[in-house]
Structure 1
Amino acid sequence: MGKSNDFHLSFLTWNIYQGTDPAPLINATPEQIPERVTEIFRLFLATNFTVRAKAIARAIASEKPDFIGLQEAQLWELIIPTFGTITYDFIEILLEELDERGLKYEVAARNRNFNIQLTDSNGNIVRLLNRDAILVRKEKDLKVIRSQEANFQTNLIVPIAGQPFTVLRGWSSVDFKKDGQVFRMINTHLDPAVEAIRNAQANEILQGPANTHLPVIITGDLNSIPNSTTYNLFIKGGFQDVWNEVGEGPGLTCCQGPDLLNAISSLIVRIDYILFKNGWKPKEAELVGEEQSDRTRTGLWPSDHAGVSARLHLEDHHHHDESCS
Structure 2
Amino acid sequence: MQKLLLWPAVVLALLVGCSSFERAPLEPPQVIGGDAKGPMAEVQVSLSDGAGIAALLNKNYNETTTSCTQYGTGLARGYYWCTGVLVRTTDDGAFNPWESSPTALQLHGTSYSWIRHDLQNAGLFKPAGYVILSPADAAANTVPGVTSFANAVQCVYPLDAWTQRTMDRSHIGCDFEGTGLTVITSPWGSCENRLGYSNSAQWNARFESQGRVIYRQCSWGADNQQGWRNMIASHNIYTGISQYNEVMLTNWGGTGSLPLANEQYRKSIPAFFYDVAKPGGLAIAQSFQRKMFATGRRVPILRLSFTAAAAQRFQFQQADQVAGQYP
The TM-score bracket by the shorter chain reads: under 0.3
Q: Which has the higher contact order (CA 8 A, sep 6+)?
A: 2
TM-score (norm 2): 0.26
Q: Which entry has the higher C-alpha Rg, 1 or 2?
A: 1
Structure with the largest fraction of helix: 2
